[in-house]
Amino acid sequence: MQLIMLGAPGAGKGTQAKKIAEKYNIPHISTGDIFRANIKNGTELGKKAKTYMDQGLLVPDELVVDLVADRLQQEDAKAGYVLDGFPRTIPQAESLDAALAKMGTKIDYAIDVEVPDENIINRMSGRRACVKCGATYHLEYAKPKADGVCDMCGESLILRDDDQPETVKKRLGVYHDQTQPLIDYYSGQNVLKEVDGTKDMNEVFADIVAILGE
Ligand code: ADP
Ligand code: AMP
């Protein structure tokens, strides 16, 4: 099963991608997580990516496309994957299609998690993230067991720099300009599925399972 998660920043792509990965036993590939791991490890890629991420801008396509193409060649991605945060531009989607065509395969579904802009700022200001293992929480809707501590690995949780309200507004603008056109792109390929992301996260997941099958 080869899946793409679409949706605004904070729509719940990562939340749903993790549940999908667990249920269907496929890797969750998040380009945001890959960049954050690179930033944490002080790599050249991380340094370059950080300058864009901190401003709420997209990292240039050329820094993302090969990285994902390589990741999809790895053994654990043979049986499928759920891509979260990639593609984010039409050129990225076209390069992904070209890379998949070379591998003799294609995307099964692009799942668009729909949440209006009004709800996004609240979602993002309450998000808390673990930079060590990538787990995500929400102060109101998905609380960790102990305040400020990751349930999975015990690391301290943070408010991501790019989740500050001013940066979120910028990211929403970038989403509408550069990423939203992918909805038509995948609709044109007859693989687009839309779910209502304003529902409770378990209900959203049930709607996704209804699309993908048990
Ligand atoms: P994305 O990966 O699309 O940026 P996340 O999955 O990190 O978004 O979700 C953003 C924030 O909203 C997180 O704090 C998450 O716990 C919370 N969240 C996700 N889905 C829902 C939902 N259906 N209802 C309420 N909060 C949600
Ligand atoms: P995310 O964790 O998906 O919210 O991504 C956080 C940030 O990483 C984004 O705001 C971008 O700056 C950068 N990023 C992640 N994925 C991509 C991508 N496919 N293309 C460009 N930038 C990306």
Mean pLDDT of the chain: 96
State if residue 138 touches ligand 1 by the CB under 6 angstroms criterion: yes
Query: Pocket of ligand 1, candidates 29, 130, 138, 182: which has the most ligand atoms within 8 Å of its Cβ, to mutate?
Result: 138
Tens digit of each residue's pLDDT (9 = 90 or more) over 76-116: 999 999 999 999 999 999 999 999 999 999 999 999 999 99
Out of 3.40.50.300, 2.60.40.10, 3.30.420.40, 3.40.50.2300, the CATH code matching 2-114+176-212 is: 3.40.50.300
List, by residue number, the catalytic residues.
13, 88, 127, 160, 171
Instruction: State if pTM tops 0.85.
Output: yes
Helix, strand, coil percentages in the chain from 3-state DSSP, rounded to 5? 50, 15, 35
Residue 147 has pLDDT above 90, yes or no: yes
Mean pLDDT of 146-158: 96
User: Which long-range contacts link 90-94 to residues 24+ away (Cβ below 8 Å)?
Assistant: 90/181, 90/182, 90/185, 91/61, 91/65, 92/61, 92/64, 92/65, 93/182, 93/185, 93/186
Residue 44: closest CA among 31, 35, 53: 35
